[in-house]
Structures are given as C-alpha cells and as structure tokens.
Structure 1
Amino acid sequence: MSFWIAVAVLSAITLFLLAAPLWRKNKEEGERADYELNVFKDQLKELDRDLERGLINQAEAETARVEIQRRLLAADEKRGKTTISGQKIGAGTLIVSTVIGLGLVAGSLALYLKIGMPGYEDVPFASRDLQKERQMASSEGMAAEIAQLKKHLEDEPGDVDGWMLLGRTLRLTGRPAEAVDAYRSAVKASERHPSVLADFAESKIYASEGQVDDETFSALKEAVDNDPSQMKARFYLGFAKMKTQDYAGAIQEWTDLAAMAPKEIGWLAQVNEQIDMAAKAGNLNRDDFKPSAQALVLSKQFELQWEEEKKQRQEQASQTSGPSQADMEAASEMTPEEREEMIRGMVEKLADRLKENPNDIEGWKRLAKVYMVLGEKDKALEARNKVKELSGS
C-alpha cells in the first residue's frame, strides 16, 4: 500500500514540475542563449589562435575544444526551444498540458506494471561496469547533439562556425568521412576562406589515412597562395609534396614555415624532423635550403605581432595584480584624500578594462570587492550580478 501512495505523491509532484514552467513568464532567455553562443564561438576561435601560437599543445586544445563544443551545442538547443513571450498560458493550452502530463504518468505506470518488478533489489554498485556505462552515455549524448547541430545547419546553411564545429565533432567521434562533408560545406559557406580550406584538407588527409589526392593538394595550394601566413596549410602542403616525392618542394615549404614560427613553439621540432626525413628520402642537404623572401617578411610581421600580444598580456597582468611596491610607498606619503583619489583612479582603470574584456570573471570579483570597500553598494551589486551571469549561477 505504501508503494502506491509513494507513486501517487511522486506523480503529483511530477505533474506540478511539468506544469510550473507554463505558469511563469519567459524572461527573454533567447537573448541569453544567443549571448552564450557568441561567447563559446569566440572561445573556439581563441583556442585555435592559442594552439597556433604554441601557448597550448594539441592534446590540451582537443580536450578544451570538446568541452566548449558541448556547451555550444547545449546553448544552441536552449536558443531553439526558447520563445520571448510574456503572455499567460490560455485555458486550452493548460488543459492540453494537463492531459499530456496525466497520459505520461498513466503510460509509465502501465509500462511499469507490465515489465517492472516492485521490490526487486537494485544491481550492486560494485558489479556494474561504470566505464562502459559512461562511454555509452557519452556516445548517445554526442549523437543527439550531432543530430541537433545538423538540423540547425539545415535552417542556416551559411553558418561557417556551425559547419566547422560539426566537422570537428564528427572527427572526434570516429566519423571521418562525414567530417569531410561537413568541412566541404564550410568551405562553400566561407567562400573558400584559406583557414577553412586548410581544415578541409586536413580532414581529408585524416579520412584517407595519410593519402593525398588532387582535391586535397589543390585546396592546400589555394590556401597558401591566397594567404601565405596560413601555417597549417603550409605544413600540410609540405606533407602533400613529400607524398608525391617532391622532396625539395617539401623541404622548402617546411623551411619557410620554420622561419615564420616563433622559436619556442612546440611543433617546431616536428617540422625539423620532417625536413630531415625529406632530405634523407631525396638524398638532399637541408642546409642548401634557405627561407624565401616572402617567409622572411612574414617572420618579421609575426614577430612584431607576437611581441605586441606579449606586451598586452603583461600590461593586463599588471592591471589585475593590484598596486606595485612603488604604488604602496607613494600611497603611504599621501593624505587620506589623495589616497582615495589614487584608489578611485585604479578602480576606474579596472572598470574600463572590463568594458573591453567583459568576460573576465576574476576582474569583476575584484571590482565588486573594491566598490564595497569604497561604500558604493549599487556598483558593487552590479559587479556581483555580472559575476553571477558569467558563472551561470
């Protein structure tokens, strides 16, 4: 008897939970979902830039990319299901939702009576293959996300980032041929952008287990011709030339790439290994090959760019790390009014920086604390709300 009472109580709770969202106004969740989509897309682009500059290795990049992709797919699902409306639910809709809810409960109960076993003990935790269960759950979840992304791309075939995301996801889940098709669609949607061509060619090489056909070679050549700074395309173009036994051409491509790359980047050692292999296979001397004039010009440009980015990171770190020792010594000799003015100046700098980089959650936390110390509770509350928004809580 107690079992059926529990069933009735749980059914009532389930109906309430199912109906509750219908009684509340929608608070423009669609806009929030669009914002999250843009954030995750920016994170994917930043991840690719970090990988290209050698700030992270390939394994770290793939791990981070899968997590960002999962969140992006979840945000896209949220956007698709959300409607911006503040109207109350009509009586007809409420009746239909109630009938559906009751039907679900009744159907579940009938199914349980048919195949269920009340009172039957659960499977012991120790005897379960948890790793297999996790793999199955992950595989099923990823398949659903892929299907959802495909549906989104049917409605928006010009979404280049969506096609790229689908291609990466299909490759990670062991579906290389489908990944090639996704990247081919990305090439079309991007109007043959050089970086997309490089990813397309890479996917074809992986799908064919290292073989290079005419389409792959042409895509790589087109990418480098249109944008000589495409390092991924240069690497695979050298690989393609080596496959066709053009060892001198391969060495020249990789020599140019080595000249363009920063000296501390992790994959430079692999490039040098490839040069040695090509030189040995073609009976050539690698010292006879020098960087082209184009590669030397690009090298200088990249060097200036990376130095500027390094300087910006250092400036950002100094802005967020608090006052320096010189600032502390100067503050000790100030009057209370001068100290407060100095503090407010530092706070304004932090606030201005956060306007340019609004996703810096640690910066918002510091800003909230400082505003509380200064007694500006309204501004502190705004900063705390921004922290909650970024943390999703």
Structure 2
Amino acid sequence: MLLWLAISLMTGAAIMAVLWPLRPRAGDGVSDGQADLAVYRDQLAEIERDRAAGLIGAAEGEAARTELARRMLRVAEADAADVVASGGDRRRRVAAVVALIGVPLFAGGLYFALGSPQQDGQPLAARLDAQPGQADVAILVRRVEDHLTANPDDGRGYEVIAPVYMRVGRFEDAARAWTNAIRLNGSDTRRQNGLGEALLAQSGGVVTAEAKVAFEAARTADPADPRARYFLGLAAEQDGRPQEAAAMWSALAADSPADAPWRPMLATALARVGAPVVTAPGPNAQDVAAAQQMSAEERGAMVRGMVDRLSQRLAENGNDLDGWLRLMRAWNVLGEGDEARAAAAKARVQFAADTQALGRIDALARELGLGS
C-alpha cells in the first residue's frame, strides 16, 4: 500500500511539473475586441446624429469618423492575432491531456514490465539473510561486519573480510582486518603478506616502515616465499639501495620456476635497477670462475650438486619442461644413463597430455641414445 501511495505522489508531482508551465494566464481566451467594436459603432452613430443636428461641422465629423476607423482597424488586427494564438492554446491543451493520461500510463507500464509488483517489500534485514549467491558484495560485507561487531574476537571473520576489502578498494579497512587476524590467529606468511600489501596499497605503492615489518615477518615464517622477497626488494629500491634490490630479485629469479607467474614482474624490476634477468636456475659468473680453479674431482662434485638441486626442484614443481631436458642432458654428461632415462620417464608422465612436450622429450632421448 505504501508503495502505491509513493508511486501516486511521484506521478502527481511529475504531472504538476509538466502542467505548471502550461497553465492558462490571466486573460487567456478572453477578447474585448467585439465589445470595443460595439462601442465604436455607437460612437459613429452618435457622430452622425450630432452632425445632422448641426452640433458639429462637417470637417469635425469627418475627423472623428477617421479616428474611430483607425481604432476599429487596430481592434480587427488584435482579433486576428488572437485567432493565431488560439492554435498555441490548443497545443497546450493537447500537451496537458498527454501529461494527465500518457505519463501515468507510461510509468505504470514501465513498472509492470521491469518491476516486481507481485512481491512484498523486503527490508534490509531480510536481504542480509539471503543466500550468498543472491547477495551482492556490499551486502556480504555488511553481513560480515555485523557478525564481527557482535563477535569482535572472531579471527576467521577478519581473514574472510580482509581480501574483500582489498578488492573493493577499502585498503585502510583491509589493513585493520589483517592486523586483527594476526592478533587473534597468530602470525604466518599469508597474513603478514596480506597486511603488507594492504599498507602498500594504502600508501600508493610505497613500502612504508610498517609494510616492511610485515613483509620481513612473512619472510621469517617462510624464507622462500616469493611475495615477501619481491616486496622487500622493492623496499630496498625505494630506499635508494638498487644493488641490494638487484641481488634480492636475482636470487628470487634463480629460485623461481621458468613458468612462475611472477617472472615478468621480476624481469621488469631487474631491468629497472639495471640488473641482468636470470632466465633459469643455473651457475652464475662467480660459480664459473670458482670452477676454473677446482680440480677435476671438485668440479665433478660441484656439477653433481647442481644436478641434484635441479632434480630436487623438479620433484617439487615438475611443470618446467626445459628443466627436465637440462636434467636429462646433465645426467647423460655425468655418465648416469639410468638416471637420464628415469628423468625422461618422469618428464613423460608430467607432460602426458602435452603432445608437443612429449615430442621434445622423445627427440632428446633419441639424441642421447636413451631410447624412445
């Protein structure tokens, strides 16, 4: 009922807004032309009587008649203008009828076509109880916020809401939520990285002292974590220590798989500080220089150590096809044909669904004499 009352009031207001400029002005449709002409005719008759009675001369009578004729002509011209203006009056009346009938019909038809008149009103509390798939992000945020207001020690709730705050651009709220999650649930790599990124976004991309503390805590919890290592390198760059940033990013690139999603970002960062991009794990210039001073046994041990590290990395993340091919060659160079064939077999299992990758593995196996 209240909805229809509101619709009626809004419709009435819309109609008044349209009709008000079309309202008739004072004197609209009223003409004094006929009355004036009647008066002028009476005056002409009176002039004729006065002249016949000798009360005025012929010249005076003619002058009076001429003046009345001019007045009657002006009245006739005014009547003609009123006739033309009456067309504008008709247009205003047509517009008024359209406003009175057309606006309500159009608004009602639009509501019945796009609205839901058959449904009852649903207050906010009922919408907040809707299923998550039926609620938008704002309502979901409101639900979690209401829950946290009633349960301020629910650390899990803060972990749920913090990433949502980040997605909607509420960085200060995200940082506060991650801080509460750390306070209630303890410090770990994920929570500290979340806090650091929220502080980073809040500061417009600057790794503040607070953000750096968070990233250092994340790296302490997991020294291999790429996110913390990258942002600590960024902190070094922003602090005016590009060489330190280059060393941190180069080490991260050396430890990262060839298909790691953060490699393009690392390449950009390394180019920014003028450092060469490490495309794949392997010996650096210092390793090569040191190897030249070693005995044959020492060089063999160093090479075997690198091969073992490559094999261990591929066991943890086998999506690096080039790494498998390097491992097959390395074992073959060391004279470990069985290890090379085992690496080829593992690579075939890893890339069983990739025809192109299998072709490269088989081609190298034939080249090395490992069989197909």
Larger RCO (alpha carbons 8 Å, 6+ apart): 1
TM-score interval, normalised by the smaller of the two chains: 0.3 to 0.5
TM-score computed with the length of structure 1 as normaliser: 0.40
Larger radius of gyration: 2
